[in-house]
Structure 1
Amino acid sequence: MTDAYTGDRIILKDLGFYGYHGLFAEEKKLGQRFFIDLELGVDLTEAAETDKLSAGISYADIYDTVKASFESQPMRLLEAVAQNVSVALFDGFEKINWIIIRIRKPEAPIAMVRGEVAIELQRVRKAK
């Protein structure tokens, strides 16, 4: 990991969603479960020192943004889903400096007895 992904972070793990993302017709028709793990780089100093809700970011608002982005349109690739979620989080929360997002697909249509497939993207807010 690079130095860009250091410091304070908000972590949301095992966020479960049902979606219709995938390459195959069955995936698009029947859907399946997906799980998202997030690490969001945010300076939490003010929230830690003041104990004020307004100094932080609402976890519920983060979840709602992820859910809306995840469910907005079916995609073929998990990479595209993760990119859309990352863009929505950067657009919705100015305090987020970087994002690590992992999307897991436990029922991927491959011949495996146990396990899951996953992708992980790491994104840094682009300078304006």
Structure 2
Amino acid sequence: MTTPFSGDRIILNDLGFYGYHGLFNEEAKLGQRFFIDLQCGVDLSAPGSTDEIGHTVSYADIYDVVKKTFETQRAKLIEALAQNICTALFEAFSDIDWVIVRVRKPEAPIAMVRGEAAIELHRVRPV
């Protein structure tokens, strides 16, 4: 295993979803946009040298796990949403050693003219 958060990685940025996560009743009822940035630590030396999909984790499959988790596990906090995504990725892909996930909430219920609220989790595969 590589040093956490270094080395090869699969990156998916700016994944947009519409969901019903949040503390307030309006968020659960009306929903809002969320954006997810993701890095997964995976040894990419085999697919880099063989050019074979069977030697890597498919970023399309990673996306499918993130989408399913986002859509089926409602969370009050974006921290819990991000943790759910990390857990699901570790369960689905044994080759992923670590995950960095950022959840961005551009319509957070705070009085900002521009910007977004966001959190970022760094997780290493549990032993």
Same structural fold, with TM-score higher than 0.5 when normalized by the shorter chain: yes
Give the match's secondary structure for 1:88.
helix
Write out per-residue CA displacement over residues 70-124 of structure 1, whole angstroms, 9 at most, x where no aligned residue: 1113211000000000000000001000000000000001000000000000000
What corresponds to 1:52 in structure 2? 52
The AA in structure 1 aligned to 2:5 is Y
The AA in structure 2 aligned to 1:72 is T
What corresponds to 2:14 in structure 1? 14
Can you give the 5+ residue segments of structure 2 that lack an aligned partner in the other structure? none
The AA in structure 1 aligned to 2:87 is V
Matched, 1:100 2:103: no
What corresponds to 2:82 in structure 1? 82
Write out per-residue CA displacement over residues 24-80 of structure 1, whole angstroms, 9 at most, x where no aligned residue: 110000000000000100000000010011001111110000000011132110000
Cα distance in structure 2, aligned partners of 1:77 and 1:91: 21
Q: TM-score, normalised by structure 1?
A: 0.96
Cα distance in structure 2, aligned partners of 1:93 and 1:115: 33
How well do the aligned residues superpose, as a CA RMSD in angstroms? 0.7
What corresponds to 1:69 in structure 2? 69
Can you give the 5+ residue segments of structure 1 that lack an aligned partner in the other structure? none
Displacement over 4 Å in runs of 4+ = none
Q: TM-score, normalised by structure 2?
A: 0.96
The AA in structure 1 aligned to 2:126 is K
